[in-house]
Amino acid sequence: MVAQEFTVDLDKPLVFQVGHLGEAYEEWVHQPIVSREGPRFFESDFWESLTRTVWWAIPSIWLPVVCYFVLKSVRMGRTFPEVALMVAGGVFIWTLLEYTLHRFLFHIKTKSYWGNTMHYLLHGCHHKHPMDGLRLVFPPAATAILLVPFWNTVTLFSTPSSTPALFGGGLLGYVIYDCTHYYLHHGQPANDAPKNLKKYHMNHHFRVQDKGFGITSSLWDRVFGTLPPSKVAKKM
């Protein structure tokens, strides 16, 4: 793993090493290491602990928050059918946000020291170690911070009584996304639909990493023309 006279030592904390790769970072980070054993990120045990999250923490922490905000719209006078529609709308908005973040932020190309470092923390680590089960879902502390601008954005285009339900729907969409993402990496689906979704996502990791940005579905890849080519098309 030598690039531009710099060698990444996988036996040492990685976060402050990867920035030294410069332009070679893009190639290095997309050469996956398939192991359930994740690398160490930081020397500090405290900062290291913040990078590791068990998958079940996501529904345990955020589903009660979803319920709180959905019921808040009900208490503000919205009917159950109205609230259900708003929640569905929030989930739908999340699917577009999921695709947009994954395509344009998580796969941004970097070459500077701090650009590479931040990208590795954000998403590069997942492509380098795709089976690391403790770094598949987003840390709750980081999610809590990002929920503030998300709430503020929702308030810009919704009424006071509809904002909580829309926000709750978006948060529910996120929970579905993170749990689905974990399952696609570590679950063993028996039915065709989840099997195909797992193949679709594994294709993004191991074959065509600049296509197939949808996690919970391929909807927005179809809309925006980022479906990965089929094996047949590739041979032709």
**pLDDT per residue as tens, the chain (236 positions):** 444 478 899 999 999 999 999 999 999 999 999 988 889 999 999 999 999 999 999 999 999 999 999 999 999 999 999 999 999 999 999 999 999 999 999 999 999 999 999 999 999 999 999 999 999 999 999 999 999 999 999 999 999 999 999 999 999 999 999 999 999 999 999 999 999 999 999 999 999 999 999 999 999 999 999 999 864 344 43
Q: How far apart are CA 29 and CA 128, in angstroms?
A: 5
Please give the structure tokens belonging to residue 202: 């594994």
| Contact assessment for residue 190 and residue 197, using Cβ atoms and an 8 Å cutoff | no
User: Each residue of 155-181: pLDDT tens digit?
Assistant: 999 999 999 999 999 999 999 999 999
d(CA 203, CA 37): 21
pTM, 2 dp? 0.91
Cα separation, 134 vs 147, whole angstroms: 22
Contact 69, 161 (CB under 8 A): no
**55 three-class SS:** coil
SS (H, E, C) 132-185: CCCCCCCCHHHHHHHHHHHHHHHHHHCCCCCHHHHHHHHHHHHHHHHHHHHHHH
229: which DSSP letter?
P
The answer to whether the Cα torsion of 215, 218, 219, 223 is positive or negative is: positive
The whole-angstrom separation of Cα 194 and Cα 11 is: 35
> What tens digit of pLDDT does each residue of 83-120 get?
999 999 999 999 999 999 999 999 999 999 999 999 99
Q: What angle do CA 146, 66, 87 make, to 5 degrees?
A: 100
CA 159 to chain centre: 29
Q: What are residue 3's DSSP bridge partners?
A: 6
